[in-house]
Amino acid sequence: MFLDTQPAPVGAFSGDGMDEFRVSSPPEILSLLRRLVDGGVLVNISAPDGSSYTSTLWTADSNHRKLSFSADDNNPHVQRLVDAGEAVVVAYLDNVKLQFDLTSLVLVHAARHCALQAAMPAEMFRFQRRDSFRVRTPPTGSPMAHLRHPAQPDVKIALRVVDVSMGGCALTLPDDVQPLPPGALIENVRVELDPDTRFDATFTLQHVTAFNPNSRGARVGCRMSGLSGEAQRALQRYIDQTQKKRRLLSLG
Domains observed in the chain: 10-128 (2.30.110.10), 134-251 (2.40.10.220)
Structure confidence at residue 160 (pLDDT): 94
Instruction: Spell out the residues 6+ positions from residue 234 whose beta carbon is closer than 8 angstroms to its own.
Output: 196, 197, 198, 199
The predicted structure's pLDDT at residue 2: 36
Nearest Cα to Cα of residue 128 among 94, 88, 169, 95: 95
CB atoms within 10 A of CB 156: 11
Per-residue confidence (pLDDT) for residue 207, from 0 to 100: 79
Mean pLDDT by 10 residues, the chain (252 residues): 50 54 89 91 87 90 94 89 92 82 91 89 80 74 92 91 90 87 91 95 86 68 91 90 74 56
Phi-psi region of 180 (alpha: psi -120 to 50; beta: other; left: phi over 0): beta
pLDDT of residue 215: 57
The C-alpha atoms of residue 196 and residue 16 are separated, in whole angstroms, by 23
d(CA 25, CA 240): 16
- What is residue 36's predicted lDDT score, i.e. its pLDDT? 92
| Whole-angstrom distance, CA of residue 174 vs CA of residue 194 | 21
> CA 12 → CA 8, 23, 125, distances in Å?
9, 18, 14
How many CB atoms are located within 10 Å of the residue 67 CB? 25
CB 102 within 8 A of CB 118: yes
How far apart are the C-alpha atoms of 162 and 193, rounded to whole Å? 10
* Interatomic CA distance for residues 155 and 15, integer angstroms: 50
